[in-house]
Chain A
């Protein structure tokens, strides 16, 4: 055995612990003043707001794999945990000062700092170097501006759940950008049309504004490193050449009497018609089916 083989490889991987999000970690969207959505956004993870109470745009936005928590104890606790997480991220010792534009960079785990703004006008690659627990923390003294069509690629087992962006003021994700990580902003976060995020938008004091976005709360997978992951925009709206209406008819009153026995029915064939594009809808809260006016008739 040679002397060289006894040498321990240089510590290439960061020893950073993940930023502890606490209960805020269950949220894909968390804000202080308002949450405003336009268009058919798909949010996977909870949406929370406190102390504000104005969440608008759901539908047409939809929340999956989570709940709406508005001005209640759950949202307040998450906001408190966000403050702790923000301070944790902001207080970490920097391992490198970076340029204001991260485009073209390939970064290994660490804490990256810009005294003022941070931006991305192209592609940023985060390389975990085979360690799926590797943590990336970005500290922006003021804004985070992600340009249209910009994207973050994860390689070497990097996971979106371990990427944190601490933003000293506000963040904006540009049109069609595909971003990765948990954004912890002091003020507000805006996702413009078609931007996607594998992570979360967590705004301490201000608003979260969405427009036809896909946000998937990132959860850490245990064990094996992944290969290359590139977030992509799958949101459509361009339409197909066919569109029809009238799928499931309205459901009548909910009673549990007088069942009628089976009468086979013939399904009507679809009739091609003009394309129906998404149309603006008034913002209405998810209804609680009222008293016996017109409740749904399940079979009971």
Chain B
């Protein structure tokens, strides 16, 4: 049970779940937690609570520090706790970590993927800055919906499918438990070496974009940026 004095404060990430479409309101900034070491995310803001997930200090592909969006904060017995979005299954799950385990910062970037419109919209400081047409998941392997984030931005060599960048998301496929040894991780990546026509739904769940578009994203979007995927 939480201390009676604990006050839960929702952060701007709560807005991420309110799927913006068209002229929808988008939060101007997002609080982020950069992990300082491996840590356990707990089901409640209390030492000894059951684990909600386990998070390494660094991401597995690039080795960059793990950055998690903060969805709420609270103080328990004088200690600040952060409720963060976690990577992996179940999709969009959250956990509590102590603020002392992280460095806090913010981002003004936010991405919204509209599966029905098959478009990717990019916001900065609450304003729409770019919209890209995209390939999304086909009906048998749909792109999952929910509140996610960019786990890491991965530069890809020229002969890799999806080059030149993949924005690896915290989302995992609801249809594929694994994919060629991988965990069914969803990414925004290019169409090079894999194909697809933007505006169609033919992928295994990833979101594919034209080379110029994914290049722009790869050069602007870093870890922790919230990604909302809506139907």
Contacts and interface: CB of A to CB of B under 8 A. Distances in A.
Contacts, number: 242
Contact of A65 (B64, B107, B168, B175): B107
Contacts of A290: 157
B53 interface: yes
A238 B80 CA distance: 13
Interface stretch (B2-10, B11-19, B159-167): B159-167
B160 A300 contact: no
A242 B95 CA distance: 14
Contacts of B60: 248-251
Given A65-B222, A239-B101, A260 B177 contact: yes
B166 A242 contact: no
B189 interface: yes
A17 interface: no
A214 B62 contact: no
Given A44-B106, A234-B99, A298-B187, A244 B40 contact: yes
8 contacts: A62-B223, A245-B38, A252-B181, A253-B181, A255-B161, A255-B180, A277-B37, A284-B63
B120 interface: no
Given A62-B67, A214-B103, 14 more contacts: A42-B34, A44-B106, A62-B34, A63-B222, A237-B36, A240-B101, A246-B54, A247-B88, A254-B182, A255-B180, A258-B180, A288-B155, A291-B157, A300-B203
B98 interface: yes
B116 interface: no
A295 interface: yes
Contacts of B128: none
B87 A299 contact: no
B156 A288 contact: yes
Interface string B213-231: 0000001101110000000
Interface of B: 32, 34, 36-40, 47, 50-51, 53-67, 87-89, 97-109, 137, 141, 151, 154-157, 159-162, 166, 168, 173-187, 189, 194, 203-206, 219-220, 222-224
From DSSP, what is the main secondary structure of chain A's interface residues?
loop
Contact of B47 (A236, A242, A264, A288): A242
A300 to B, nearest CB: 4
A40 interface: yes
Contacts of B220: 67
Interface in A258-287: 258-265, 267, 269-270, 272, 275-278, 281, 284, 286-287
B107 A299 contact: no
A54 interface: no
Interface residues of A, number: 69
A296 B204 contact: no
Contact of B103 (A235, A272, A276, A284): A235
A287 B101 contact: no
Contacts of B57: 276, 278
B89 A40 contact: no
A15 interface: no
Given A60-B65, A296-B166, A243 B39 contact: yes
A299 B206 contact: yes
Nearest to A213: B103
A141 interface: no
Contacts of A286: 62-64, 155
A64 interface: yes
A247 B38 CA distance: 9
A44 B185 contact: no
B204 A256 contact: yes
A257 B55 CA distance: 29
A288 B65 contact: no
B154 A289 contact: yes
Contacts of A251: 60-61, 181-183, 185
A247 B63 CA distance: 13
Given A42-B105, A284-B63, A298 B55 contact: no
B99 A254 contact: no
Contacts of A269: 50-51
Contacts of B47: 240-242
Contacts of A115: none
Given A243-B39, A270-B40, A300-B206, A62 B53 contact: no
Nearest to A216: B105
Given A62-B223, A247-B55, A298 B99 contact: no
A174 interface: no
Contacts of B50: 269-270
